[in-house]
Amino acid sequence: MKHTQGSIEVVCGSMFSGKTDELIRRLVRATIAKQKVQVFKPAIDIRYAVEKVASHTGSTFDAIPVERAADIHLKLDKDTTVVGIDEAQFFDPEIVSIAQSLAGRGVRVLVAGLDMDFRGEPFGAMPSLMAEAEDVLKLHAICMVCGGNASRTQRLVNGKPARYDEPIVIVGASELYEARCRLHHEVPR
């Protein structure tokens, strides 16, 4: 089934907020509606499975790993009407024009990713994708210090907050990261 109008929908938030679960929920609904769905993820993300997007809760959906955003066009089937993109913050800036191009052709583009890096700063192309989107949903996790709403991702090194000058991208899960609220998020300089 073809959409009459393309769109970009972004699901963002900190780690452990349920971004990939929400992406998978939307992808499953599109599949039930008999829409042709293809999902892409950065090849760098091999935490759970190489050819699946996987949430921390164990939900999965088949996905095609790609090295660069431009590879999405190369691997896209002509009859695809819904494109899912997980961990969009890891893609190069061209991911924005790819999403715009797909939406312009009538494709529903579902994007999930971290809106902020461990420093609490905008992450990769996510701010631009959010600005271009018709719909943005920001999810919250639970702060591991106080139990309040967490909007930030805390990187830990030997159990202590990572310093500001640490590398931005280190792929990991609960062994390296936890969710924190604004008050309890720490980034020593």
CB contact at 8 A, 148 and 181: yes
What's the pLDDT score for residue 169? 83
Each residue's pLDDT tens digit, 44-95? 865 556 687 888 788 889 999 999 999 999 999 999 999 999 999 999 999 9
What's the pLDDT score for residue 50? 65
Q: What is the SS3 assignment for 136-188?
A: EEEECEECCCCCCEECEEEEEECCEECCCCCCCCCCCCCCCEEEECCCCCCCC
β 177-180/152-157 pair status: antiparallel
What's the pLDDT score for residue 2? 52
What's the pLDDT score for residue 96? 98
What is the CATH T-level fold of the domain 7-139, as seen in this structure?
Rossmann fold (3.40.50)
Q: Give residue for tokens 């190369």.
A: 74
CB contact at 8 A, 141 and 150: yes
Residues with pLDDT less than 70, the chain: 1-4, 45-50, 172-174
What's the pLDDT score for residue 160? 93
Which residue ranges make up each domain of the chain? 7-139
Six-digit token string for 159: 């159990």
The answer for residues whose C-beta is within 8 angstroms of residue 75's C-beta and 6 or more apart is 38, 40, 64, 66
Which residues have a catalytic role annotated? 87
CB contact at 8 A, 79 and 53: no
What's the pLDDT score for residue 56? 78
What's the pLDDT score for residue 131? 98
Q: Is 92 exposed, middle or buried (0-12, 13-18, 19+ CB in 10 A)?
A: middle
Phi, psi (degrees; rounded to nearest 5) at 177 = -135, 155
What's the pLDDT score for residue 124? 96
